[in-house]
Amino acid sequence: MRIATTTAGLAVVGADQSLVPLSSLVPGSPGEMRAFIEAGETLWSRARAQAAKARGGTSASAMRLLAPIPLPRRDVFCVGWNYSDHFEEGRLVHGSAAPSELPEHPALFSKGPNTIIGSEAGVLFPSPHSTELDWEVELAVVIGRGGRDIDAADGLSHVFGYTVANDISVRDVQLHRHGGQWFKGKNFDTHLPMGPWIVTADEIPNPHSLHLGTRVNGIVKQDSSTRHMVFPIPRIIEELSAGLELVAGDLILTGTPPGVGFARTPPEFMRVGDVVEVEVEGVGKLRNPIVAPKS
């Protein structure tokens, strides 16, 4: 099942690929994604069965889609250095400032709720603070069943579904300011497009074999597969949940493959007027223009 958050509430992608309001298929269902996920498997199954035969909705191109969870209850969890070849390109750029070898545990950071936007929404160029605006396609995990100290062997059973994310980064702020902490450079407003919907886990039997990529103005910049993850999703869930309770609706970004702008020769960064598209096989595609900040 594919389920989206629209300006009119939740909608599922029907058998004819149109968006059908969930409330028309399952009367009394929640109108907000977090509440839907928290409701549990019984409701998910009812919605899934109705979505499989639903028809006659609105085309996705004619409906404004928001991020699937526009305002999560807390920050989005993120993993850095999770593709071996991306780690290598970053190490070559940063030299002694980067780890000398892949770590034993994933590098973790977070992005705040104000970073989140949906597909087609404008990404604010970071002027006057920086001109180094970079792209990062990522598979995002949506937690469906919470827990603390989750064993990796049980990790995927806690996943509700998957969505697409673009972990847009302000590179010089991320890498050369604020004592080397990534937080500020990762947390400019509008710098986390997500969507266009959530694909439930039953439709993605192996999240570690999905093609993913990035295009800027139609030119391919990233082209890889989730099979190159250093830390697979169950391990990420195990590490995050160690002493920290995950709850339904939590979002986890799983890292980006090589091809980011700052590691290119010469470095490439996005500008106002550019259009960035990120896509994950079987999940969906995000398209976002880069826009000037409001004066």
Tokens found for residue 224 = 């890889």
- Same structural domain, 90 and 57: no
Q: Residue 61 — pLDDT band, cuts 50, 70, 90?
A: confident
* Average pLDDT value for residue range 25-38: 96
- Same structural domain, 6 and 137: no
- pLDDT over 90, % of the chain: 87
Among left, alpha and beta (phi > 0; psi -120 to 50; other), residue 56 is left
Residue 67: inside a domain, yes or no?
A: no
- Same structural domain, 243 and 276: yes
- Give the single-character DSSP code of 97: G
Q: CA–CA separation, 118 vs 138, rounded Å? A: 15
- pLDDT over 70, % of the chain: 93
What 3 state SS string does 20-39 have? EEHHHHCCCCCCCHHHHHHH
- Same structural domain, 135 and 244: yes
- Same structural domain, 19 and 164: no
* Average pLDDT value for residue range 154-180: 92
What pLDDT, on a 0 to 100 scale, did the predictor assign at position 90?
Answer: 58
Q: CA–CA separation, 186 vs 192, rounded Å? A: 9
Residue 70: inside a domain, yes or no?
A: no
- Same structural domain, 58 and 80: no
Which of 30, 62, 94 is the C-terminal boundary of a domain? Answer: 62
- Same structural domain, 91 and 38: no
Neighbours of 225 (CB within 10 A): 15
What pLDDT, on a 0 to 100 scale, did the predictor assign at position 182?
Answer: 85
What pLDDT, on a 0 to 100 scale, did the predictor assign at position 81?
Answer: 86
Q: Can you give the pTM of this predicted structure?
A: 0.94
**Model confidence pLDDT, tens digit, residues 189-216:** 999 999 999 999 999 999 999 999 999 9
Please, are residues 273 and 290 in contact by the beta-carbon 8 Å criterion? yes
Please, are residues 249 and 34 in contact by the beta-carbon 8 Å criterion? yes
What 3 state SS string does 49-61 have? HHHCCCCCCECHH
* Residue among 189, 160, 186 nearest 173 (CA): 186
Beta bridge partners of 166: 137
- Same structural domain, 102 and 189: yes
Indicate if the pLDDT at residue 188 is higher than 60: yes
Q: Residues in the chain, how many?
A: 295
What's the CATH number where 127 sits?
3.90.850.10
Q: Residue 175 — pLDDT band, cuts 50, 70, 90?
A: confident
Q: CA–CA separation, 266 vs 263, rounded Å? A: 8
- Same structural domain, 21 and 138: no
Number of domains in the chain: 2
Please, are residues 61 and 97 in contact by the beta-carbon 8 Å criterion? no
Alpha-carbon Rg for the chain, nearest whole angstrom, is 19
Residues 6+ apart with CB under 8 A from 294: none
* Residue among 249, 248, 264 nearest 216 (CA): 264
- Same structural domain, 51 and 99: no
* Average pLDDT value for residue range 40-64: 94
Residue 274: which domain range? 76-291
Indicate if the pLDDT at residue 268 is higher than 90: yes
Residue with tokens 């002694």: 96
- Same structural domain, 56 and 84: no
* Residue among 130, 141, 159, 156 nearest 262 (CA): 130
Q: Residue 78 — pLDDT band, cuts 50, 70, 90?
A: very high
Structure-model confidence comparison of residues 180 and 237, the more confident one: 237
**Model confidence pLDDT, tens digit, residues 89-132:** 655 555 555 555 667 899 999 999 999 999 999 999 999 999 99
